[in-house]
Chain A
Amino acid sequence: MVATLRFTLWLAVAVVAAAVLGWLFRAVLTRIAPANAARLLRSAPLSASFGMAVIVFYLLVAILAPTIAPFGEREVVGAQFMPASSEFLLGTDNLGRDMFSRLVFGVRNTVSIAFITTALAFAVGAVLGLLAATVSGWIDQLLSRVVDVLMAIPALIFQLLLLTIVGTSIINMILVIALIDSTRVFRLARAVAMNIVVMDYIEAAKLRGEGLWRLIIREIMPNAAAPLVAEFGLRFCFVFLSISALSFLGLGIQPPTADLGSMVRDNATLITFGEVTPLLPAGAIALLTVAVNFVVDWMLHRASGLKE
């Protein structure tokens, strides 16, 4: 009973703290942003500004990792599984490395790899999707059918399969995940663009004699941007999760490189002793995922033109 109460209390405190953080962050941003952006930001709900604050925090951690972390990424600094102390803020891991430093570097590695992968998936998927919708005809048929085939195989199985074929390395993992995720982006981009290419302004641009590239980039892309950006956020989360999943299975980021997914696995034994340490990297993944989704929700809301 008391435990439940305490839990509820902490939950309430966390929600209030998040709201306050969101509010503060928005207040600061609207001060310093240029007029146009400030007006947009003022319309952001608290959840979205909390999300943005968290994302900015992660970015800072990723960029400043060497400065923040008290120890090196691979440095063995103490005994195994030491409890938290003033020297090792979160204790040490299974090999005696500082948990806090590993966490900071893990965020840096996983976030940047996830970002590169998502960006690559989007560059390929969006360009091909828009191209297919604009040109239509046999190019569309060809691309769409290839994508259908790729999508027919369950993503995780396919990733494992491809990684076993090409071998595990960070580059290979990025390419494999990007390839598989780009098929989803292709589908979305094509569907969105299908509704845009029938517009009169596209016809007007075609009749003006505009080239294909300009049609796609200048005329169609800006109008397809909103759902694509929203999808980018969601995809980023999925990629993040699949990198962590692959690492957990031992096929992703290889030790001794710090990575949030494999950190969960390495320290999993601690769970049996009632320690929360292995949950921290998992919590870091969860927090970022939730934050990104808050921002994406807001963008989707804006893109759909809904009010209130």
Chain B
Amino acid sequence: MTEAASNKPVLLTIRGLRIEGPPDEKWNEIVKGVDLSLHRGEVLGLIGESGAGKSTLGLAAMGFTRDGCRISGGSIDFDGIDLLTAPEPVRRGLRGKRIAYVAQSAAASFNPAHRLIDQYSEGPVQHGVMSKAEAQRDAMELYRRMRLPNPDEIGFRYPHQVSGGQLQRAMTAMAMACRPDLIIFDEPTTALDVTTQIEVLSAIRDIVAQFDTAAIYITHDLAVVAQMADRIKVLLHGEEVEEADTRTMLSAPREDYTKSLWAVRSFERGAQPALPAADVPVVEMRNIVAAYGPVPVLHDVSFEIHRRRTVAVVGESGSGKSTAARVITGLLPPSSGSVLFEGQPLPADYRQRSKDQLRQAQMIYQMADTALNPKHRIREIIGRPVHFYLGKSGKALTERVRELLHLIELEPDKFIDRLPSELSGGQKQRIGIARALAAEPRFIICDEVTSALDQLVAEGILRLLDRLQTEFDLAYMFITHDLATVKAIADEVVVMKDGRVVEQGPKAEMFAPPHDPYTELLLSSVPEMDPDWLDRLLAERAAGRAGGTVQASER
């Protein structure tokens, strides 16, 4: 807690708050007696893995619970108003005016049918703070402060006409519209690329400081919270683990759980033995040019992936990394160039590939939720490729499925007859891995497999993938925008931007200077667990270093 903040009056006090979730036969507690207090102008970071009750607690600070949830105990006091007993009109009067909320996905939270500035004015006009014309003038001013391009004009666009990072900033501006005393940020940058994340983070931090607004900043990314918060509270399963001011928390965490969170980024794959000179790559992309209709996406992309090697393909969204994967799998036939599998060219379209060619290259998806058929049981999800490719059935099939579940460290008896909806995010991703392994492939494409997961869970997945690689001689193509993941698992790195390969080479070379300017921008944008990192970076960028000369391609 900074000196300045602790001297200010207390704005929000939560005592022994208990919130219960939707009854599945019986009520289960999501938040189990949490205390929280927040001074005016102070930023509190709430961290924890998913399901820790962060968002529920954040919403409760507005006196609000999600549908089907109920507050079963404790008290919430906002500036002298008891939010639990206050009548609904009073609470509604507070929301948007004195307490505002910024959601994780701005794209999903804006109404696509209205212009940004109209949605901005809605709050102030509704609460009778400003007239519509005043609100619009005010919006332009705030857009300017949020460093949005063309602040006078951008508000007249529709949500789909601006980029994700801009949308997130527009939403923060909107939350500021009534100059609230408290803003709740619920993972505002989680869905953004590292390069855009920086801009949003610094804009949010500045505006909160300018208006002396108190904030609750919810995230699972420790490095981000280190930049934003004065104080950090760690939650686990709806209970507080510990709370301290940011610097103390980072340098001397007390609890084991907090320490394990801090140590997450420690996993790093060892150097692999050198390749034999005549090694034929498992997969080779040769001068690939590809387009979606008339829009060119890949320009002359070439790289190779060898046995037992992991090649990380890095770049921001829209750089063409997922398209490269679609070309390899045959979903998007290239307009020129070829994909070679162990030296043999593959047919461009997956429909023309033989069953065996399809079997050899498998894919693991980013969103395990949509990658597993919600109506199939685990037995069928994993069993289908075993039956389809390897012709096993009956007892042998069940045996093989159980073996695969063992491999991914899930108890077969417990999981074999579950539906995907009965699994956690990490477990779903493990099933995705097992399904890929079931085909006994040589090559697996991992498309952002850890980016939807908490850091602890993600690390478990990375370790599992690493172990399986050595066990089964696999080659991985690892698509990611997270350089921490690259550091952990890659042997070689391919950096892509705007459909071109900007730089490629062994990992050690990539992480050591000199860099291509774009690589430099990417590298320097990865948040570090140092509270001064953002200030330092912004200062360096202003001086034209750390990739400050390259523009991330805002789309």
Binding site for B on A (CB under 8 A): 199-201, 203-210, 219, 222-223, 225, 307-308
List chain A residues, Cβ under 8 A from B388: 208-210
| B31 CB to nearest chain A CB (Å) | 19
Are B435 and A222 closer than 8 Å at their CB atoms?
Answer: no
Task: List 13 contacting pairs A-B, 8 Å CB cutoff, sorted by A.
Answer: A200-B365, A200-B367, A203-B331, A207-B330, A208-B385, A208-B388, A209-B355, A210-B388, A219-B373, A223-B375, A307-B67, A308-B22, A308-B67
- A187-B67 Cα distance, complex, nearest whole Å: 32
List chain A residues, Cβ under 8 A from B267: none
Q: Kindly state the interface size class of chain B when it binds its partner.
A: 20 to 34
- A105-B334 Cα distance, complex, nearest whole Å: 66
CB of B9 within 8 Å of the partner chain: no
Partner of B365 from the list A204, A206, A208, A308 (CB cut-off 8 Å) is A204
Interface string of B10-24 (1 = CB under 8 A from A): 000000000000100
CB of B370 within 8 Å of the partner chain: yes
Partner of A222 from the list B67, B371, B373 (CB cut-off 8 Å) is B373
Instruction: Identify 8 new A-B residue pairs, CB closer than 8 A, beyond the known A203-B331, A207-B358.
Output: A200-B371, A201-B373, A207-B329, A208-B385, A209-B350, A219-B373, A223-B373, A223-B375
Give 5 nearest A-B pairs by CB, closest first: A222-B375, A200-B371, A201-B373, A200-B370, A200-B365
| B206 CB to nearest chain A CB (Å) | 39
Are A199 and B370 closer than 8 Å at their CB atoms?
Answer: yes
Are B68 and A208 closer than 8 Å at their CB atoms?
Answer: no
- A201-B68 Cα distance, complex, nearest whole Å: 30
Are B372 and A201 closer than 8 Å at their CB atoms?
Answer: yes
Are A206 and B371 closer than 8 Å at their CB atoms?
Answer: no
Interface string of B84-106 (1 = CB under 8 A from A): 00000000000000000000000
Q: A222-B375, A223-B375, A307-B67 known; A207 and B370 CB under 8 Å?
A: no
- A307-B21 Cα distance, complex, nearest whole Å: 12
List chain B residues, Cβ under 8 A from A223: 373-375
| B35 CB to nearest chain A CB (Å) | 30
- A203-B329 Cα distance, complex, nearest whole Å: 10
- A203-B385 Cα distance, complex, nearest whole Å: 14
Are A204 and B374 closer than 8 Å at their CB atoms?
Answer: no
Q: Which of B332-363 contact A (CB under 8 A)?
A: 350, 353, 355, 358, 363
Looking across the interface, which residue of chain A has its beta carbon closest to that of B375?
Answer: A222
Binding site for A on B (CB under 8 A): 22, 67-68, 329-331, 350, 353, 355, 358, 363, 365, 367, 370-376, 384-385, 388-389, 435, 439
| B27 CB to nearest chain A CB (Å) | 13
| B372 CB to nearest chain A CB (Å) | 6
| A66 CB to nearest chain B CB (Å) | 41
- A307-B67 Cα distance, complex, nearest whole Å: 8
Are A209 and B371 closer than 8 Å at their CB atoms?
Answer: no
Q: Which of B22, B371, B375, B389 has the most CB of A within 10 A?
A: B375
Is chain A's interface secondary structure helix, strand, loop, or mixed overall?
helix
- A225-B330 Cα distance, complex, nearest whole Å: 30
- A223-B375 Cα distance, complex, nearest whole Å: 6
Are A201 and B371 closer than 8 Å at their CB atoms?
Answer: yes
Are B68 and A307 closer than 8 Å at their CB atoms?
Answer: yes
- A210-B351 Cα distance, complex, nearest whole Å: 10
List chain A residues, Cβ under 8 A from B68: 307-308
List chain A residues, Cβ under 8 A from B330: 207
- A203-B330 Cα distance, complex, nearest whole Å: 11
Are B373 and A209 closer than 8 Å at their CB atoms?
Answer: no
- A200-B358 Cα distance, complex, nearest whole Å: 16
Looking across the interface, which residue of chain A has its beta carbon closest to that of B357?
Answer: A209
- A210-B376 Cα distance, complex, nearest whole Å: 15
- A307-B365 Cα distance, complex, nearest whole Å: 30
Are A207 and B371 closer than 8 Å at their CB atoms?
Answer: no
Looking across the interface, which residue of chain A has its beta carbon closest to that of B353?
Answer: A209
List chain B residues, Cβ under 8 A from A201: 370-373
List chain A residues, Cβ under 8 A from B353: 209
| B233 CB to nearest chain A CB (Å) | 30
List chain B residues, Cβ under 8 A from A308: 22, 67-68
List chain A residues, Cβ under 8 A from B329: 207
Looking across the interface, which residue of chain B has its beta carbon closest to that of A42?
Answer: B25
List chain A residues, Cβ under 8 A from B331: 203, 207
- A219-B372 Cα distance, complex, nearest whole Å: 10
Are B350 and A206 closer than 8 Å at their CB atoms?
Answer: yes
List chain B residues, Cβ under 8 A from A210: 388
List chain B residues, Cβ under 8 A from A219: 373
Q: Which of A204, A205, A210, A222 has the most CB of B within 10 A?
A: A204
- A83-B353 Cα distance, complex, nearest whole Å: 77
- A235-B67 Cα distance, complex, nearest whole Å: 32
- A225-B389 Cα distance, complex, nearest whole Å: 28
- A203-B325 Cα distance, complex, nearest whole Å: 13
- A209-B375 Cα distance, complex, nearest whole Å: 20
| A108 CB to nearest chain B CB (Å) | 35
| B397 CB to nearest chain A CB (Å) | 16
| B438 CB to nearest chain A CB (Å) | 10
- A222-B375 Cα distance, complex, nearest whole Å: 6
- A206-B375 Cα distance, complex, nearest whole Å: 17
- A206-B326 Cα distance, complex, nearest whole Å: 13
Looking across the interface, which residue of chain A has its beta carbon closest to that of B356?
Answer: A209
List chain A residues, Cβ under 8 A from B439: 208
| A208 CB to nearest chain B CB (Å) | 6
Looking across the interface, which residue of chain A has its beta carbon closest to that of B447?
Answer: A200
List chain B residues, Cβ under 8 A from A206: 350
| B426 CB to nearest chain A CB (Å) | 17
Are A204 and B22 closer than 8 Å at their CB atoms?
Answer: no
| A30 CB to nearest chain B CB (Å) | 14
Looking across the interface, which residue of chain B has its beta carbon closest to that of A201?
Answer: B373
| A12 CB to nearest chain B CB (Å) | 31
| B359 CB to nearest chain A CB (Å) | 8
| A197 CB to nearest chain B CB (Å) | 12
Q: A204-B365, A307-B22, A307-B67 known; A209 and B374 CB under 8 Å?
A: no
- A222-B367 Cα distance, complex, nearest whole Å: 20
List chain A residues, Cβ under 8 A from B67: 307-308
Q: A199-B370, A223-B373, A307-B22 known; A204 and B363 CB under 8 Å?
A: yes
List chain B residues, Cβ under 8 A from A205: 373
Are A208 and B358 closer than 8 Å at their CB atoms?
Answer: yes
| B55 CB to nearest chain A CB (Å) | 18
- A199-B363 Cα distance, complex, nearest whole Å: 14
List chain A residues, Cβ under 8 A from B376: 222
| A302 CB to nearest chain B CB (Å) | 14
| A269 CB to nearest chain B CB (Å) | 54
List chain B residues, Cβ under 8 A from A204: 363, 365, 371, 435
Q: A200-B365, A307-B67 known; A208 and B384 CB under 8 Å?
A: yes
List chain A residues, Cβ under 8 A from B371: 200-201, 204
| A135 CB to nearest chain B CB (Å) | 12
- A204-B373 Cα distance, complex, nearest whole Å: 10
